[in-house]
Each structure stands twice: as C-alpha cells, then as structure tokens.
C-alpha cells in the first residue's frame, strides 16, 4: 500500500529545497572548472 | 504513530531493486558498506603482508601501489560514506518522526549508482596496466600518466560524487521539510544535526572533487594543460583544489560518527547529553573551519610563510570545538549510572582513541614539524586513529546500538564483547607502532623498507590480521541477530530516549504515516 501523500505545500517545499541545492552543487562544479580555466 | 498494516511490498530481488522505502535503502547501504569494508580490508592485508618483512616478497611494487590507492578509495567512498548514509536512511526519518525520506525515488537512484561505480573501480584490477596506483589523492603528474585504469577511476569517482550529492540533497530536504510538528531544530537528536551539517559539507565539497577530476580527464585526453607545467599549467593547483575537497571530506567521514556517539553515550550513562547546544555549535564550527585549513596537507610544496602560518593556526583552532565535544562526552559519563554493553564499549574506545588521532593531528598541524612527518608512517598512524577507531568504531557501535530496532532481535552480547576486545587490541597493535615508524622516518606508500623498521612492521602486520579477522565475529553477531534470537522490546535500552524507541522492534515497514506531536 502506498504511503499517504504529503500535503501539497510540503511537496512544493521539498522540491524547492532539492532544486536549489542541486543548482548550488552544479554551480560549484562549474565554478571549480572555470577557476581552472582562468 | 507506527502503523504495521502498510507493509506490503514487492518480494525478492524486485523489492531491493525498486524500493523507495528508507529502511530498505538503509539496509542496502549498510550491506554494501560491509562488503566494501571486507574488500578494502583484504587490500589492507595484502599491504600488511608485503610489509611483514623488508624486501619484496608477495606482490610487485606496481600492484602494491594499486592496493594502497584502491584500499583508500574503497574504504572512504565504498565503506565509511555509504555506511553513514545507511544510518541516515534508517534513522533520520525515525528520529524526526517522518514517514520516509523526502525524495524516495532519488534515494533509490543514489544507492544504485554505487554498485556500478565500484564495479568500475574494482574492474581496473583486471585490465592491462592494472588499477590506479598514484595514491587516492590522484596527484598529477602520476595520475595524468596513468593507464586506462585512471580513466575508469575518474568515471567511478564521478558516479560516487553524484550519489553523494543526491544523498546530501535528500538528507537536507528531509530534515528541513519533514520534521514532526513541534520538533524544532534544537530539539533534533544530535545524530540528525551532525548529518544535516555533513550533508552541507558534501554538497559543497563533492562538486569541487568532480571539477578536479574532470580537469584531470581533459588533461589526459583533450589536450588541456591544467596541471602540466610544460604547458603552462600547475600541478600544485591540483593539490589545492583536491584538498579543498579533501579536508571537508575528512569531516564528512567523522561528523556522523560524533552524532552516533552522542546518541550512545547518554543512553548507557543514563543521563541527558551534556551541553547539547554547544555540541551543535561545535559541529557547525568544525564544518566551517574544515573549509579554511586545506593547505595543511601540503605544507611542503613551498608556500609563502604567511600561508604556512595561516593554515597552521586555523588547523590548530579545530582542536577547540573538537575539545568541546570530547569534554561533553566525558561530562555526560561523569557520575552517570553507566553500563558497558557492546555499543558503549565501542563508543568509549572511540572517544579515547579518536582523541589520540586528534593529538597526532595537532602535531602534524605544526608546519615546521610537519616537514619531518610529511609522507611518513606517522601520517598513516594519525589518520587510521581518526578513521578506524573514529569512524569505523562508531559505525560498529551504531550497528550494535540500533540492530535490535532494525531486526527485532538482540545480538549476542558475549560475541559483541569478544569482537570489541579483539578489535581494540588488534587495532592498537596495528597502528600504534606506525607512529614510531613514521617518527623514525619510514616513508608511506613504499613496498620495501630499511632493516631497522622490521620489528615494528611485524607487530603492525600481526595487529592488522588480528583486527581484520576479528571482524568476522561482527558478521556472525549481525547474521545471528537477523536470523533470530531474543526478542527486542520497543525501547531496547533502558536509558534510550527518542522517537525511534517509540515504534515496535523491528520497526514496521512504514512508520509515522501520521506524524507524532512533539511537546
């Protein structure tokens, strides 16, 4: 039986957190590489 | 509260391949880590067997170098990190009253990247030219000159990095968004706090490693000269970038251990943790400092004096928050009603032996002294005191502590105690003499040594084999508890506090579908 669905507001907050953190991680990777190029 | 009726799930292989359940994925991580500990441990025993006597006996130098490189990569990325992620998966939702991790499908992918990454890494031993052999730090120019094994290692590191970053995102999203009503940040168990901070470290450090190894890859195959002095590049830059990742990585490997210890000691001292808030702030301080100390790993490359001094003093400052933690653990035990079950024994050993590793770290932090210690066995002794009697002992302690909750059965205490004493004796026999070898000048990562180092090396090898084989007792204790034994109660330990002890043992497949309310 699937888990109870989380409230929409909580789902949105989770996605927002995850996307923000993912963007930060990717930016750090690009920045490291760019510093190497400089 | 706990719900036992929602536990339908696919059976057999499909359960494990497709699971999005935090407990299943936690188990996968822990089993994977155990396998990797044994593979990495076997590599360590090859190293120690070769070093039992001076001269070349068992393996050729190239293979020896592969063993030192792979042992580190397997233990760090395959053993310790997945083990802590296993604990995070099992315990964080249970401790904060959440039904699961925030991103369950991502959780599944985070885990399943790992077996492929490590198959790729271990497969390097089967290809012409063998595995990577320039050390786990992958310093150029050796790593640029390496064989195809280096490329496979770089790809494997990318996969491990993606897995870690996704895992970190999941942990942060879970802790920030899924806590039960009333559980404010400063009411969270310390294990959850240490993992929250670790996840931020992972998020900031792993992309830097990815950047560094990508530059290595383009230097190897795409005509760039990031690290090639002849082409206008700088091999020392790699060391800076690598250690900007590498030092926070050290704390990624130890902060969750602090968290586990901070759960266990109060339980068996039957007292609340002394200085909870100072523990949180100390953990955060260590995390911050971990980003400004990286060049203490490379004092000998030739830095300006101001750089040497900055990195020396900033490194020494880490002793302050770490000292706060050790003091708080001791103060928690002070006048406690203590009992010495296996998890507590491993935790006390953790506090004492990790502190030895901390002190040798302080010695290494002193720049002028480090010129003597650099690349000797003193460094090897130091980081094994931190990572084996630190990280690994806490992992073992945590398994004994929560195993009854996970399996529903008590482990065999006699077996646990045998495991503990053999591990402690074996570990100290293996690594304490290495301090003396290092101070006497024996270099690390060399398969041969001068005659005067023989005796300490023999002690070390005997200790390593004792430590290695005593881990079979651990496997026996875990397997016994999984298969049966005395039934565990919901609150397994008399002094245990926290939400995980309010659910039955074994913890039902789904817990906290309705969030508990925290007062």
Question: pLDDT digits over B145-194, tens only?
Answer: 888 999 999 999 999 999 999 999 999 999 999 999 999 999 999 999 99
Q: What is the pLDDT of residue B346?
A: 98
Distance of alpha carbon B254 from alpha carbon A20, whole angstroms: 26
Query: pLDDT band at B519, cuts 50/70/90?
Result: confident
Mean per-residue pLDDT for B234-255? Answer: 96
CB atoms under 10 Å from CB of B369, counted, come to: 15
Q: Are B295 and B306 in contact (CB under 8 A)?
A: no
pTM of the entire predicted model: 0.96
Given a cut of 70, whether residue B124 has pLDDT beyond it is yes
* A10, A25, A36 member nearest B215 (Cβ): A36
pLDDT of residue B11: 84
Answer yes or no: B105 catalytic: no
Cβ burial B215-231 (10 Å sphere, 16+ → b, else e) = bbbbbbeeebebbeeee
Mean pLDDT, rounded, for B63-81: 97
Contacts of A31 in chain B (CB under 8 A): 211
Per residue in B83-100, pLDDT (tens digit) is 999 999 999 999 999 999
Dist. CA B108–CA B18, nearest whole Å: 7
pLDDT at residue A1, as a whole number = 46
Chain B residues 227-266 within an 8 A CB cutoff of chain A:
237, 241
Q: Give me the catalytic one of B225, B270, B444, B491.
A: B444
**Averaged confidence pLDDT in chain B:** 96
Question: Rounded to an integer, what distance in angstroms lies between the CA atom of residue B420 and that of residue B346?
Answer: 7
**B460: annotated active-site residue:** no
C-beta atoms surrounding B402 within 10 Å: 24
Handedness of CA B199, B200, B205, B211 (dihedral sign): positive
User: Considering only residues 7 to 36 of chain A, which have any Cβ-Cβ distance to chain B shorter than 8 Å?
Assistant: 10, 13-14, 17-18, 21-22, 24-26, 28-33, 35-36
How far apart (Å, rounded) are the C-alpha atoms in residues B413 and B282? 33
pLDDT at B425: 98
Per-position DSSP letters for B115-166, written without gaps between them: HHHHHHHHHGGGSTT-S--STTTT-TTHHHH--HHHHHHHHHHHHHHHHHHH
- Token pair listed for B25: 């994925």
pLDDT value for A37: 79
**pLDDT tens column, B371-418:** 999 999 999 999 999 999 999 999 999 999 999 999 999 999 999 999
Work out the pLDDT band at B7, boundaries 50, 70, 90.
low
Could you confirm whether B448 is annotated as catalytic?
A: no
Please indicate whether residue B384 is annotated as part of the active site. Answer: no
ipTM beyond cut 0.90 = yes
- End-to-end CA, chain B: 15
Taking 3-state DSSP, the helix, strand and coil percentages for chain B, each rounded to the nearest 5, stand at 70, 0, 25
Q: pLDDT value at position B5?
A: 47
B223, B263, B467 from B350: Cα distances, Å: 47, 13, 15
Give A35 to chain B, closest Cα distance, Å: 10
Per-residue pLDDT at A2: 53
Q: Is B313 a catalytic residue?
A: no
Q: DSSP letter at B291?
A: T
**Cα B115 from Cα B309, distance rounded (Å):** 42
CA distance A9 to chain B (A): 10
Query: Do the beta carbons of residue B70 and residue B146 sit within 8 Å?
Result: no
Using the beta-carbon criterion (under 8 Å), do B99 and A3 form an inter-chain contact?
Answer: yes
Distance in angstroms (rounded) separating the CA atoms of residues B305 and B175? 43
Q: What share of chain B in percent tops pLDDT 70?
A: 99
Tokens linked to B218? 């383009």
What 3-state DSSP class applies to B51? Answer: coil
CA distance B102 to chain A (A): 7
Q: In chain A, which residues have pLDDT < 50? A: 1
Select from B100, B173, B241 the Cβ nearest to the Cβ of A3.
B100
Q: What's the token pair of residue A25? A: 């991680």
List chain A residues with CB under 8 Å of B165. Answer: 22, 25
Annotation marks residue B247 as catalytic: yes
Question: Both ends of chain A: CA-CA distance in Å?
Answer: 54
pLDDT in tens, B181-218: 999 999 999 999 999 999 999 999 999 999 999 999 99
């Amino acid at each position: 039986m699937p888990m109870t669905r989380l409230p929409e507001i909580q789902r949105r907050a989770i996605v927002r957190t995850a996307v923000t953190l993912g963007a930060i991680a990717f930016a750090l990777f690009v920045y490291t590489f760019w510093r190497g190029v400089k | 509260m706990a719900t036992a009726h929602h536990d339908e799930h696919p059976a057999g292989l499909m359960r494990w391949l497709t699971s999005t359940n935090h407990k299943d994925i936690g188990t996968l991580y822990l089993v994977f880590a155990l396998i990797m500990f044994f593979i990495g441990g076997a590599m360590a025993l090859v190293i120690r067997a070769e070093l039992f006597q001076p001269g070349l006996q068992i393996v050729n130098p190239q293979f020896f170098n592969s063993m030192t490189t792979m042992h580190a990569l397997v233990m760090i990325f395959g053993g310790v990190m997945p083990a802590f992620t296993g604990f995070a998966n099992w315990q964080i939702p249970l401790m904060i009253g959440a039904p699961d991790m925030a991103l369950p499908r991502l959780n599944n992918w985070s885990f399943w990247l790992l077996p492929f990454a490590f198959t790729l890494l271990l497969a390097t031993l089967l290809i012409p030219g063998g595995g990577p052999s320039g050390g786990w730090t992958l310093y150029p120019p050796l790593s640029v000159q390496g064989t195809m094994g280096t490329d496979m290692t770089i790809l494997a590191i990318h996969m491990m990095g993606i897995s870690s970053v996704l895992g970190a995102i999941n942990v942060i999203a879970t802790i920030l968004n899924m806590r039960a009503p009333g559980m404010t940040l400063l009411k969270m168990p310390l294990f959850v706090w240490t993992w929250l901070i670790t996840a931020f470290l992972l998020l900031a450090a792993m992309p830097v490693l990815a950047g560094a190894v990508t530059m290595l890859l383009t230097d190897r195959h795409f005509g760039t000269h990031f690290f090639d002095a002849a082409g206008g590049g700088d091999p020392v830059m790699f060391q800076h970038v690598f250690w900007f990742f590498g030092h926070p990585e050290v704390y990624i490997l130890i902060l969750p251990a602090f968290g586990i210890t901070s759960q266990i000691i109060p339980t068996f001292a039957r007292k609340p943790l002394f200085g909870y808030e100072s523990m949180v702030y100390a953990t955060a301080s260590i995390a911050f400092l971990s980003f400004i100390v990286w060049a203490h790993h490379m004092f000998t490359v030739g830095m300006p004096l101001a750089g040497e001094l900055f990195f020396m003093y900033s490194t020494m400052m880490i002793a302050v928050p770490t000292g706060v933690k050790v003091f708080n653990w001791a103060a928690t035990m002070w006048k406690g009603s203590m009992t010495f079950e296996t998890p507590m024994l491993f935790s006390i050993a953790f506090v004492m032996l990790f502190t030895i590793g901390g002190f040798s770290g302080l010695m290494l932090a002193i720049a002028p002294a480090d010129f003597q210690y650099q690349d000797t066995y003193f460094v090897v002794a130091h980081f094994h005191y931190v990572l084996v009697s630190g990280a690994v002992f806490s992992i073992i302690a945590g398994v004994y502590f929560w195993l009854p909750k996970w399996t529903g059965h008590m482990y065999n205490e006699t077996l646990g105690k045998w495991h503990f004493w053999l591990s402690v004796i074996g570990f100290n026999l293996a690594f304490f003499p290495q301090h003396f070898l290092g101070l006497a000048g024996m270099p690390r990562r060399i398969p041969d040594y001068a005659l005067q180092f023989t005796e300490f090396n023999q002690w070390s090898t005997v200790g390593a084999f004792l430590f290695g084989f005593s881990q079979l007792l651990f496997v026996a204790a875990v397997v016994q508890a999984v298969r049966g034994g005395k039934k565990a109660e919901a609150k397994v330990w008399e002094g245990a506090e926290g939400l995980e002890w309010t659910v039955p043992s074994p913890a039902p497949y789904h817990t906290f579908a309705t969030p508990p309310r925290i007062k």
